[in-house]
Amino acid sequence: MGDGGERATTVFGLDLCADVALPFLRAARAEPTGRRIDLTLREGEIEELEWPGSARLISDQRLPDGEVNFRIEEDPEAGYLIWGPGYGANRISADGRNLLCTAGGAGADAWQRLLIAQVLPFAAVLRGLEVLHASAVVTGEGGVAFLGPSQAGKTSLAMAMCRRGATFLADDVLALELAGESLIGHPGTAVAGVDRAEADRMLEAGELRSRDVVAADDRERVVRVARAAEPAPLLALFFLDRRADGPDRPRFEPAADARMLLAATFNLVLAAPQRLQRLLDVCALAGRRRVERVTVGPAVDAATLGAAVEERLGAPA
């Protein structure tokens, strides 16, 4: 794995203790939460994880050409296996306290991408947290989440908000904890996956330093961000609705359909009654905050949208 990564860090509300350095988790320090998860990396292929062949397939994510992207399998005793041909494999204990992993032939960068994008958020749900498909920042008042489908511009908007004085909280996955009548957003990793075209624009504009790019592929660049060190109460949620025929100026309106919140979960696989009740409780509390749809057209860039969101946050809900 190389030197310079983190072996003990707190991300997604989990206190991760690894037996290897994890460069993608460098600088992702926060106060421990008491939810410890131990990670062991083994050499070799998926067979090293001693996964039972009788396990049940519960998720099968495919690429546009039909090739497997990643799969999730479940066994009542062994727990869960999340693996992909290009990402290695990760075996999570049923209680979310132990991770046994192998990068296989995928390489460290690809394995770490799956670790932070799927595996640790999955473990967070096993440990009693809820996860939304959202990027988030912390403003002077608290946490602000940006939700929407892939390519809606969640990460670019979060980074634009940070250039206006906010602090980065999470990229693509926001871990939430129920705390009485509050929803607490936990810091994610200290890296963000930025659309490649947007990252190239940021590099050219001097908004991003080349030394902060830690990995890249045809779709995105993984870049280091100055992440919040502490959890923050969630105060507002904005659903990004980017349309080809959308307006030239951001249009805000209340998000009246409760199904939008329920569908925003990052984990559609775990469906035990206790977990589903927690998801309902989280969405019910989130619905008491400012929850708005933001409709924009293709001409609205992240900087313009960030300024509009900042102005909107200053207006009465």
The rounded distance, in Å, linking the Cα atoms of 76 and 178 is 27
Residue 249 C-alpha from the chain's centroid = 28
Q: pLDDT class for 2, splitting at 50, 70, 90?
A: very low
Per-residue exposure over 279-307, b if at least 16 CB sit within 10 Å of its own CB, e if not: beebbebbeebbbbbbbbeeebebbebbe
The radius of gyration of the chain's CA atoms, rounded to the nearest angstrom, is 19
Q: How much is the pLDDT for 317?
A: 63
The rounded distance, in Å, linking the Cα atoms of 168 and 150 is 19
Q: How much is the pLDDT for 311?
A: 94
| pLDDT tens, position by position, 7-36 | 889 999 999 999 998 988 887 777 899 999
User: 309-317 long-range CB contacts below 8 Å, 24 or more apart?
Assistant: 309/144, 309/157, 309/161, 309/238, 309/250, 310/139, 310/161, 310/164, 312/252, 313/139, 313/141, 313/144, 313/236, 317/236, 317/290
Q: pLDDT class for 219, splitting at 50, 70, 90?
A: confident
Give counts: helices (H), strands (E), the chain. Answer: 7, 20
Among 111-125, 163-177, 187-201, 291-305, which stretch is predicted with the lowest mean pLDDT? 187-201
Topology (CATH) of 132-190+225-313: Phosphoenolpyruvate Carboxykinase; domain 3 (3.90.228)
| pLDDT tens, position by position, 257-309 | 888 999 999 999 999 999 999 999 999 999 999 999 999 999 999 999 999 99
| pLDDT tens, position by position, 100-148 | 999 988 888 899 999 999 999 999 999 999 999 999 999 988 999 999 9
Residue type, 216: A
Q: Shortest CA distance to 136 belongs to which of 275, 249, 224, 233?
A: 233
* Cβ pair 145, 29 in contact under 8 A: no
Would you say residue 256 has pLDDT above 80? no
Residue 224 tokens read as 């280091």
Section 145-152 average pLDDT: 89
Domain locations along the chain: 6-127, 132-190+225-313
Q: How much is the pLDDT for 30?
A: 77
- To 5 degrees, how large is the angle CA 154–CA 158–CA 162? 170
